[in-house]
Structure 1
Amino acid sequence: MLTIGTAGHIDHGKSSLVKALTEIDPDRLPEEKIRGMTLDLGFAWLSLPSGEKVGIVDVPGHEHFVRNVIPGISGVDGVILLVAADDGWMPQTEEHMRIINLLGIQNCIIALNKIDIVTDEEWLELVEADITERLKGTSLEGSPIIRISAREGTGINELKDAISSLVQRVKTGRDIGKPRLPVDRVFIIKGSGVVVTGTLHFGALSAGDDIVVLPANTPAHIRSIECYKETSKKVEPGCRVALNLSGVKKDDLGRGDVIVPAWGDKSTSKIVNTRISLLLNPEFSLKNGEEVLIYIETGEYISRVALMGTRELIGGDTGFVQLKLDREAPVYIGQRLIVRRQSPADTIGGGVVLDPFASPFKARYTDTTISWLHRREDLQVENLILTELEKKHFVERNGVLSYSFYSQDDINAVVDELVKQKTVGIKAGYLFQLEDWQEKKNETRRIIDHEHQKNPLKRGITGTALQVKIGLPREILTTMVEEMLTDGIIYRDGEWLAISGYKPGLSSQQQAAEGQIMSLFKAAPFAPPTLKELLRQFPGNEDVIYFLMDKGELVQFADGILLEKITYNKIKSEVTAFLKANGQLAIQDMNKLFGLTRKYTIPVLGQLDKEKVTKREGDVRVLG
């Protein structure tokens, strides 16, 4: 299935043509009936002799409503551009043609309408020659010109034949497994509830699917689906569809929203790097810091621009531009966009999204940023993957380029080839460039070595602390550490990681302090100083105290209580023996056994409970 749009100057007969083709009046608003012109998007469909249905989007022709044209044309597979035989090429014909060209739509039919009121063959030939000349160098060049009269029906069959030919040559409805529905209308149907319409891209949707509305990330459910007024259980990409949604309010939705499956990519962004081309017009320009209107799919955004490598683009120029949108937009790599200035209101150019999730542009990185964007502007999968890895270093294989118009099969095929060529490595489900893997191993060693120098009495660094410092995904760091352990670069001591051959040790001065500290514990094994008292008594030797605790020579309990390890092991052993002999142990028994005061007894018993040596039952302990 495919969808085509109409385009052309006001009063050149777009809506009349749609009605002649489909017998459906696309003007749905009462004001449109009164004023006799299309103000917003209208929709109809045509059944071809082959049985295939083609959706038709009718767009307004008046210059004041161009902002409604872009959402209608942006999602179509082809366009019928109308030119009235009596008027010929007009200003809105020109602007609509520019929009079609900027969106890269290559399948077009020119309908030369109102031939019933122009009988001069020479004039018709002049109009056709003018059209042909104006289309040169655009995506519409070479489009067939069909003479018609929408009012009298002349040439309508020939136009239907041209549409049938367009259907045959257009590769539409490509299913890449990433369903996406840009919303162009939201309304309420009594008895059914909220309905949204749009043209479905990149994948199929089914009744019963759970979906998410972007950019707000609002969950909803597809209650039912209509495609060309027929209820469908499933719709394919290329269809004009109406979704009846539950779980969401009308006020939560609007034109510019995008519907994706609950399991789909939900990426949104306010800062995007693009390549923008301005139309060849001496009056058009784009200045650094200027505010413009940006049209992406069915959405309209106010954006401030940051030009890269220049202060101004003039008509005909192409350059890399960062867009800072006024709100989050559902974006993907390769997405087309239109640029309009606000005053005077003109379409001045268009472009393509190269980096949907850009960091704020900094002038000092201009050359680097431009070089990176150059390497991905051809939108080839291989170049996109390599530049993604250059930027992020480690990317989950299952998520690489999820925000692109490529299928997972397309991406996987290129990834497999890059891995086979040893251009890219893969470990723990992450892709990386081989030089990045080695650099991160070197960085890991530097971090551990720095920790040794900074804290020579510590056994090394914990895995958690290492991950915070190096900033790698846990799966990657775990794999990297295991590889370094196997290679003998580092060793593991409990929770600590250290450079092979490293041993924490005390200086001669610190050894003297160690002796003094330990003598206090041997002199009063069951009433030694607390941690707070030690720190006060041995200022400047905090590292020595913590070193003894880290080595396990001193055991710390609650409230800063410390005991020598040998003393604590003695307590543990004798408490166990006492309980086996007596069945239970009271707090006062600790004083009888060891001379421990309550200050020491409570924290020690708490630790014994924690280690399940003992278990508290009321005011006594039993064996754990």
Structure 2
Amino acid sequence: MDDRHYLVGTAGHVDHGKTELIRALSGMETDRLKEEKQRGISIELGFAHMMLPSGRQVGMIDVPGHERFVRQMLAGASGMDVVLLVIAADEGIMPQTQEHLDILTLLGIPRGIVVLNKVDLVDQEWLELVEEEVQEKLKNTAFNTARICRVSAVTGEGIDVLRETIDQLLSEVESKKSTGPVRMPIDRVFSIQGFGTVVTGTLHGGTVELGQELAIEPSHLIAKVRSLQVYKKKVNSAEAGQRVAVNLAGVEVAQVDRGSVLVTPKIFNVGKILDLKVINLSSSDRPLTQRQRVRFHLGTTEILGRLHLLDHEEIPPGQEGFAQILLDEPVLAAPGDRFVLRFYSPTYTIAGGKVLSVAKYKLKRFKQSVLEQMRIKDQGDPLDLLEREMDEPRTSSDLAALLHVSPAEIAESLKSLEESERLEIWMEDDVLLYWGKAAAEAWRSKLIRVVRVHEEEYPLRGGISREELKTRLGISWTHRRWQTILEQGSVRKYYRISGSKVQTNEGVQLPPLIIKRLDALRAYWQNVGLMPPELGIAAESCEIPKTEIQEYAGYLCEQGEWVSIGGFFYRRDDISKAKMSLVQVLQVQGEIGVAEVRELWGTSRKYAVPLLEYFDQQRVTQRKGDKRTLV
């Protein structure tokens, strides 16, 4: 069972069978108003749901096709994962089909299926001609590669194939984020006796839960979730992608306009000026002009406003530019939101694009610094842009400088990323460092992979040195930041640090052959005392390659079994005995020379001198002329 949530909607000309198609797919009636049933056309949005062959539960939206109800169509298209472009086989593409197609393209609906409906009304030859015509007219649109399904909503022909096609297409859909703030454009508001105000919509992000306090924007009203329904069933929580009915306490129906948005309080911006990237439709018959009056559609909202072009005197059909829209009323918007512009009167679709930000004031036209800032915003959602800049740990002032925005804006964006669990916070001295969660996790995975490969390749080295690891990772941070992050990563138990070496948490499992060689080396050294042989000689006796013997000796030193002194390796036990005997003699006679030490330890001058120098360094003895005394 797929736990993700999907929304499938219809689009197309009036009377091409969209409502009948949803009824055939779901077995549910979406026309709910008396007038809709009498006239045979959808006026309001209709909702249904169905189970697909894979077990996916899918919400469905039936949108009006009549040109007078395009506002409702725009409201319904918001949040669709897959759209069914319904075309009657007996009529082909009609004017409203084209406008719906333009709207879907402007809104960036990611996937679609062309449904040739009413195939029971035409013969095979006509059907082939209509399909060829449809393919030709969709060639330069978002539906140019869409699959065409032939169906009859009346007889049921092709419905099963259509269900399977929807199922296959939804397997490619990225799940909406149920973490982070709640955002649900409201498309219906009504009252139920004994319950009060109910709002419905498609949950675009976050999770709504019983008892949760939410804001209704742009009115700044606070309401409490009294009860929830998903697909007409009571639930304790609803997740992004689901069609939701929310019973709200603390607000009256008259206070909530359709077009409002139900959101987590104090997260989203509301304003009357929006920065935009505008695309004039290539099918438009006129350019977009400065101060042009338009109808602005965003989600379920329609507001009148005027265009303020920033980089064009006018934007010709098929071209794009940066602009602001000066709205008559405030609206809630977020960077990356898709919008549609319709001509003021008569109303028809002329343009669209994406919101770059909510602005505080009107910008100057043709100013290079303004246009540069718009280009930066256009590269993506500001939160995504910020996240991209956090590919390594950075301070908030570093980020503000990189993105050319104010510290206050950076602070607000960092808060949003933290709430949606998209960043990690580290420390350098008393300064906060911000690191994109995905980048940090990828970096750690690479670090652990490098450490593990090194452990497997050189199991005797006890890990990889900090500096070698820094080089392998291509780190260009300051030495201070590198050491700080490395140490904190160890504290957070992502890996281990032992002295100057970085190790995986699992550590190294020595292969049997290496264990055998180590045991042979230990046994060989058992009787050498304070006159150890050259490593090359020992390598031959213990059947260890001469090129590798240094690794074995280094390993025994790191384990604390051996000590390296003057180029020779001694067992730590032998050094302890030598120290003890030296101290005992000095406590009795006060001083000792090299010749006496050689005799005491039964060794030669070659070994005795370096050993005495070692004990000098260890502050056991001190040299006075040719003699040693206790410190």
Unaligned runs of 5+ in 1: 432-624
What TM-score does the superposition give when structure 1 sets the normalisation length? 0.64
1:415-456 alpha-carbon deviations (Å, 9 max, x no partner)? 98xx99xxxx9957999xxxxxxxxxxxxxxxxxxxxxxxxx
Q: Say whether 1:223 aligns with 2:236.
A: no
Q: Say whether 1:399 aligns with 2:412.
A: yes
Taking the TM superposition and a 5 Å limit, the aligned residue runs for 1:561-572 are none
1:479 equivalent in structure 2: none
CA distance in 1, matches of 2:432, 2:169: 47
Instruction: Pick closer, same or farther for the CA change 1:160–1:426 going to 2, 3 Å.
Output: farther
1:142-179 alpha-carbon deviations (Å, 9 max, x no partner)? 11111000011111111111111122111132234121
Instruction: Pick closer, same or farther for the CA change 1:362–1:401 going to 2, 3 Å.
Output: farther
Taking the TM superposition and a 5 Å limit, the aligned residue runs for 1:69-88 are 69-88=73-92
Instruction: Pick closer, same or farther for the CA change 1:403–1:126 going to 2, 3 Å.
Output: farther
Letter in 2 for 1:108: G
Deviating beyond 3 angstroms after TM superposition, the runs of 4 or more aligned structure 1 residues are: 380-392, 395-398, 401-404, 406-410, 425-431
Taking the TM superposition and a 5 Å limit, the aligned residue runs for 1:19-418 are 19-119=23-123, 121-262=124-265, 264-281=266-283, 283-363=285-365, 366-379=367-380, 381=383, 383-384=385-386, 390=403, 392-395=405-408, 399-400=412-413, 408-410=420-422, 412=423
What TM-score does the superposition give when structure 2 sets the normalisation length? 0.63
CA distance in 1, matches of 2:112, 2:415: 31
> How far 1:312 moved relative to its partner?
1.1
> How far 1:75 moved relative to its partner?
1.8
Q: After the TM superposition, which of the residue ranges 157-166 and 88-97 deviates more from structure 2? A: 157-166
Instruction: Say which SS state the counterpart of residue 92 (structure 1) adopts.
Output: helix
CA distance in 1, matches of 2:331, 2:199: 18
CA distance in 2, matches of 1:282, 1:208: 48
CA distance in 2, matches of 1:384, 1:177: 16
Taking the TM superposition and a 5 Å limit, the aligned residue runs for 1:572-611 are none
CA distance in 1, matches of 2:367, 2:137: 37
CA distance in 1, matches of 2:430, 2:13: 55
Tell whether the 8 Å contact from 2:364 to 2:370 is kept in structure 1 after alignment.
no
CA distance in 2, matches of 1:86, 1:125: 11
> How far 1:359 moved relative to its partner?
2.2
CA distance in 1, matches of 2:430, 2:66: 55
CA distance in 2, matches of 1:118, 1:407: 56
Instruction: Say which SS state the counterpart of residue 378 (structure 2) adopts.
Output: coil
Instruction: Pick closer, same or farther for the CA change 1:369–1:48 going to 2, 3 Å.
Output: same
Tell whether the 8 Å contact from 1:77 to 1:172 is kept in structure 2 after alignment.
no
CA distance in 2, matches of 1:182, 1:378: 25
Letter in 1 for 2:163: K
Letter in 1 for 2:81: D
Instruction: Say which SS state the counterpart of residue 271 (structure 1) adopts.
Output: strand
Tell whether the 8 Å contact from 1:271 to 1:356 is kept in structure 2 after alignment.
yes
Instruction: Pick closer, same or farther for the CA change 1:268–1:388 going to 2, 3 Å.
Output: farther
Letter in 1 for 2:155: E
> How far 1:407 moved relative to its partner?
7.2
CA distance in 1, matches of 2:74, 2:107: 9
Task: Identify which of 8, 12, 20 aligns with 1:8.
Answer: 12
Tell whether the 8 Å contact from 2:338 to 2:355 is kept in structure 1 after alignment.
yes
CA distance in 1, matches of 2:303, 2:362: 18
CA distance in 2, matches of 1:163, 1:296: 26
Tell whether the 8 Å contact from 1:289 to 1:306 is kept in structure 2 after alignment.
yes
> How far 1:13 moved relative to its partner?
0.2
> How far 1:310 moved relative to its partner?
1.9
Letter in 2 for 1:170: V
> How far 1:107 moved relative to its partner?
1.0
Tell whether the 8 Å contact from 1:396 to 1:430 is kept in structure 2 after alignment.
no
> How far 1:309 moved relative to its partner?
2.4
The percentage of counterpart residues that share the same residue type is: 38
CA distance in 1, matches of 2:284, 2:166: 36
Letter in 2 for 1:367: Q
1:470 equivalent in structure 2: none
Tell whether the 8 Å contact from 2:268 to 2:333 is kept in structure 1 after alignment.
no
> How far 1:95 moved relative to its partner?
0.5
Instruction: Pick closer, same or farther for the CA change 1:382–1:258 going to 2, 3 Å.
Output: closer
Q: Say whether 1:17 aligns with 2:30.
A: no
Equivalenced residue count is 419
Tell whether the 8 Å contact from 2:204 to 2:240 is kept in structure 1 after alignment.
yes
> How far 1:346 moved relative to its partner?
1.2
Instruction: Pick closer, same or farther for the CA change 1:375–1:397 going to 2, 3 Å.
Output: closer
> How far 1:391 moved relative to its partner?
5.0
1:478-534 alpha-carbon deviations (Å, 9 max, x no partner)? xxxxxxxxxxxxxxxxxxxxxxxxxxxxxxxxxxxxxxxxxxxxxxxxxxxxxxxxx
CA distance in 2, matches of 1:6, 1:282: 24
Tell whether the 8 Å contact from 2:21 to 2:153 is kept in structure 1 after alignment.
yes
CA distance in 2, matches of 1:208, 1:228: 20
Instruction: Say which SS state the counterpart of residue 244 (structure 1) adopts.
Output: strand
> How far 1:29 moved relative to its partner?
1.1
CA distance in 1, matches of 2:96, 2:416: 34
